Amino acid sequence: MKKQNSIYIALAIILMASLACNIGGTAPETKGGQEPTVGAGETKPVTTAPVQDVIAIDGPEGPETIDLTNPALYIVPNTPSYKFESTIKYTGVDTTGVAKEVTSIRVMETQTQPQPAQRLVIDNGSGSSETIAMGDQVYMVAYGGCNAFPNAGQQDLSAFMPNLQKEITGQALRVESGIEVNGYVTDKYELSSANLVKEDELISAFVYVARSGSFITLFELQGRAKIDFQGLGIMPYQLADPNQLADFTRTDNYISAEDGSLDIAIPAACEDPAGLAGEFPVMDGAIGSQIAPERIFYQIEKTAAEVADFYRAEMPKHGWTLIEDTIVERVVTASGSTGPVVTLVFSKDGKNYLVKADGGGPVTGVTIKEK
């Protein structure tokens, strides 16, 4: 079911792609057919890239010019461990003439020890989401709930971050030397509009190359372009005035890290879910689940009858009484037929909740919610 899980993950994470900026950077590219969960929920806080508490390692001054097409300048996804933060701020007006300011932050951490793991956080100002890919497992926290894919196969969340290597080109001239940035002694190089693949109006652009490692640790960009505020998740949704330019600034911080030193763990909302999940357990072997405080949905490679038998036996242990038990052998819908569908209704403390097991396919979909 790994291929199927990847499809579900793509559908969930594609919501994050809607936050991708229309200016100052490209939308996330997909890899291996994947596309990036989003929402407003409790996640680990998004912070700016920290300056390392170490003495910056100096070295010889960088060359007078650098070739921006040189792959060695960029931290790439197969680097063992690093942090990457991209922050873009937009200032403009909407179609009603009201001033708007939007900040979009994307943060990714990756490491290979003690096991391959990545953490992706997106914060668009109105809420944040957190996605963890750890080994074959993927967990997404959004809207206070958890989407879990325990057998998703290896995923690469770097596909949903800006790819600087594809956004700049040509030669850049050194304009300043010996600047300490992100814990590194760096040399600063200035970019012109000829260095940018996109044709936005450029105000200024610089890259800072660490002398230790010779990679770009900071990218700064200021410019003006037309922008769709709706694409950034502004509430209420309003479009920017298409006839006016919006100002934008962008900073990308790249920081290498000791492999295994990053705190990448299964989100608390997935390990110890609150609300409904504390009363109605998810069956072992679920291939994908969405757990929110008032709703649970998951799929499992068992028949609807087996799912129903599980809850008939399990729920009385939690103080719930079965008050309805119906089976429909075949259901005809606009998209075709399915079945059997087993619906159980349990009652406790004046509340009724249903467990619906929808079978008839390779997997059974299980929905648990208040009736």
Residue 26 per-residue DSSP state:
P
Please check the confidence at residue 42 and state whether its pLDDT lies above 50: no
Cis peptide before 316 (omega within 30 of 0): no
pLDDT of residue 253: 97
Dihedrals phi, psi of 309, to nearest 5 degrees: -60, -40
pLDDT of residue 229: 55
Is residue 345 very low, low, confident or very high in pLDDT (cuts 50, 70, 90)?
A: very high
71-78: average pLDDT = 86
Within 10 angstroms of residue 216's Cβ, the number of other Cβ atoms is 23
Lowest-pLDDT range, 40-49, 86-95, 268-277, 303-312? 40-49
Helix, strand, or coil (residue 197): coil
Helix, strand, or coil (residue 170): coil
Please check the confidence at residue 190 and state whether its pLDDT lies above 70: yes
Most confident region among 39-43, 137-141, 270-274, 336-340 by mean pLDDT: 137-141
- pLDDT tens-place string over residues 5-29: 444 454 444 444 433 333 344 433 4
Q: So where are the chain's domains?
A: 2-256, 273-370
Most confident region among 21-30, 34-43, 231-240, 331-340 by mean pLDDT: 331-340
The rounded distance, in Å, linking the Cα atoms of 166 and 179 is 25
Please check the confidence at residue 53 and state whether its pLDDT lies above 80: no
229-234: average pLDDT = 49
Distances (CA, A) of 93 to 103, 126, 200, 238, 369: 14, 18, 18, 10, 42
Distances (CA, A) of 184 to 82, 144, 159, 319: 14, 38, 26, 59
Please check the confidence at residue 258 and state whether its pLDDT lies above 70: yes
Please check the confidence at residue 50 and state whether its pLDDT lies above 50: no
Element housing 236 (H / E): none
Full-prediction pTM beyond 0.75?
no
The rounded distance, in Å, linking the Cα atoms of 358 and 287 is 15
pLDDT of residue 274: 62
Please check the confidence at residue 346 and state whether its pLDDT lies above 80: yes
Residues in the chain: 371
- pLDDT tens-place string over residues 276-334: 777 898 898 888 888 887 889 999 999 999 999 999 999 999 999 999 999 988 767 66
Return the higher-pLDDT residue of 159 and 236.
159
Return the higher-pLDDT residue of 264 and 337.
264
Distances (CA, A) of 210 to 226, 250, 255: 33, 19, 10
Which are the contacts of 268, defined by CB distance < 8 A and separation ≥ 6? none
